[in-house]
Amino acid sequence: MNKSALIISGSSDIASATARLLAEKEYSITLTSRKTQSCKDLVKEISDTSSKNCFLIPLDIRDFDSFDNFFSNLKESPDLVLFCPGKMESDELISSKNRGHFSQEINDIVATNFSGPIIFLSKLKDYLVNSDKKASIIILSSVAGDRGRLKNPFYGSSKAGLSSFSSSIRQELGKSKISVITVKLGFVRTKMTNHLNLPKFITSSPEQIAKIIYQAHKKKKNVVYSKFWFSIMTIVKLIPEFIFKRMNF
Ligand SMILES: NC(=O)c1ccc[n+]([C@@H]2O[C@H](COP(=O)([O-])OP(=O)(O)OC[C@H]3O[C@@H](n4cnc5c(N)ncnc54)[C@H](OP(=O)(O)O)[C@@H]3O)[C@@H](O)[C@H]2O)c1
């Protein structure tokens, strides 16, 4: 049977690793990107190495007005949708004593991690329900959304909103043919984190995450964490607020 995957933000390192894995598993792939040039090599690589098609569609997740057109131009209803857009705070914003002055960057983080995604995912849900096909929606969120921290208040709170929204649509679609899977990632070595000194032991590669994503889809999981992050976050969430507020991480 022909299987197809729609990967939102194909230029993400995790998206690219997952696209390669899915192409090996005989999925035809549609990638989206706001800078289509950045995905051209991946499209060529997948088209050259697999027997399946690979397409590229432009999409900026902040451009709400383009979403209806996006869905009406989709060639086929996918079996799997991987949702990858994400934006972290700049070092300047994190280190600033006047974070409120960065309103444009804060707005952009919220539009990329939360408001754009929840509008897009609402339309995706309607589209998949109407196509009446079995499918998985896999949403990349972050452990940063599990408890607000000093180091990434805007990224963390927008990912918290995204995790909460994915829980809502999972419940709404609970009796349907559509699985909604939230992948809560800890550290992963990608473009997003290459300026950080990440501890090896608890850091995953994009290829390891691709396998987690594929298994979560096959087993119709609800929420999955990478590496040891479920245990780490269980402990972090248990720290009483009067101690947590004095910690500096
Ligand atoms: N790496 C980690 O440690 C980590 C941890 C927790 C969660 N995550 C999440 O995992 C997902 C993938 O990130 P990654 O680690 O693979 O990093 P990445 O390689 O930097 O990917 C980030 C992706 O977000 C896309 N993006 C940014 N703004 C966008 C917009 N306005 N519209 C559409 N796409 C946009 C980027 O596209 P462009 O190429 O066009 O900029 C890129 O494809 C993100 O949601 C991230 O928050 C990552």
- Write down the pLDDT at residue 65: 98
Among 14, 37, 158, 183, name the best residue to mutate to test ligand 1's pocket (greatest count of ligand atoms within 8 A of Cβ).
Answer: 14
Q: Which CATH architecture has domain 3-244?
A: 3-Layer(aba) Sandwich (3.40)
- Write down the pLDDT at residue 52: 86
- Write down the pLDDT at residue 236: 97
- Write down the pLDDT at residue 51: 86
Q: Is 184 in the pocket of ligand 1 (CB under 6 A)?
A: no
- Write down the pLDDT at residue 38: 86
Residues of the chain with pLDDT under 50: none
- Write down the pLDDT at residue 193: 96
Q: Is 190 in the pocket of ligand 1 (CB under 6 A)?
A: yes
Q: What is the pLDDT of residues 30-88, one digit of tens each?
A: 999 998 888 999 999 999 998 888 999 999 999 999 999 999 999 999 999 999 999 99
Helical pair 153-172 and 116-131, crossing angle rounded to 10 deg? 20
| Phi, psi (deg, nearest 5) at residue 6 | -110, 120
CA distance 219 to 213: 10
- Contacts of residue 217, defined as CB under 8 A and 6 or more positions apart, other chains included, come to 80, 136, 138, 179, 181
Q: Is 13 in the pocket of ligand 1 (CB under 6 A)?
A: yes
With a threshold of 0.85, does the pTM exceed it?
yes
